[in-house]
Structure 1
Amino acid sequence: MSHNSKTVMQNSESRLYDLIAQRLLPNANKEEIDQRIWDLFGEEWCVMMTDLAGFSRRVAEYGIIHFLQTIYESERLLLPVIEQNEGFLLKTDGDSFLVIFRQPQKALQCALVMQQILIPYNEAKLEQERVHLCVGLGFGKILRVGNTEVFGAEVNAACKLGEDVAKQGETLVTGAFQQVCADFAGVTYQKLEHAPAGASAAYKVILT
């Protein structure tokens, strides 16, 4: 093994799990190890999780080729918007995107543009071919490990909002996200009755 093999970024996941293994040892100083982990991997990011409403039902009804078509169309339409708004696509999982942004304002602008471009697209399509987007947004300090993994309360909350809570055409945000984008032009926020675990509050983005 070369001398630099443990310091290059692509090996950061193994470095994280080395520290977690140390944390499991008897009499381990967990606070010190936790601080080392946050020092190594802790970064402030906005997290976006997208999902397609009604996707599983339509796949079951129309089959795997319909699944591939919908995925293709969602990527064709939405990935350029993410790039234009300085987002980094970490991974795709079926019909979902996990994306991070340095600036929450860019993330919100991206979400709004994605929702808007789907309106004329869907109007020209049969219902079974429409792309109905759900978006969840969070912001705060998270653990970013390598080029594909992020962990943290705001990650979990954004995923919950985007995949489980948001309805078609909705963009939902955590309380932490809403605070940093409270003055974003052209939108207001409607507080939700329940917030996902790890978030102080959650809001629906309303265009004004």
Structure 2
Amino acid sequence: MESGFTLVELLIALALLVVLSAALYGTFFSVVRGADAVRERTEPLRDARAVLDMLRRELSSACYSKDTERFRFVVEDRDVFGKPASVLEFAAFTVPRRGSVPSSDIMEARYAPVEKEGGLIILSRRTRDIFLDAIPVSYPLTGPIDGFLVECYNGESWVRSWDTALNGKLPAAIRVTVRLAGGENPTPLTAVVVPRLAGS
């Protein structure tokens, strides 16, 4: 009697190999799709946290002087299609830039929303040395977000607008909220900052 596999046994083995290969193929690509979906959700969250960390550092070193108009702190309450879109301008202490261009340790920063189609907003940032007359350039800081809200604490309540020309001092605290775009329920991320020179 000859030993070997019959045609039926080979067909069954081939069918099992095809089923196992299809299962592995499907599992691999579902894991890849899942990883892409997680990346799409976490990237805006990471960007928003980075923006809040940057704002926390800069706002904690905000400065104001009644004698110099450049040393100001202004929050404008705006909205885009009913969504908060505050504009924030302030002067702050910073580390001087290294290089051949002279620089001071005080910068002027402006955070402003830019409207995009679909009612979404992209937050832009512009900074410049307060004593140089260079023309600053705005650049995008986030991907599409659903809102950017800045509120100032005046010692009694949170207000959505502030101007040191009218108030004569920095707010006691600043609350910044970035709302991530995400369907009907946007995810808010909030940071509360107390400027080191608050009240001055």
TM-score range, shorter chain: under 0.3
The structure whose residues are more often helix, as a share, is 1
Q: Comparing both structures, which one devotes a greater share of its residues to strand?
A: 2
Identify the structure with bigger relative contact order (alpha carbons < 8 Å, sequence gap 6+): 1
Using the size of structure 1 for normalisation, the TM-score is 0.25
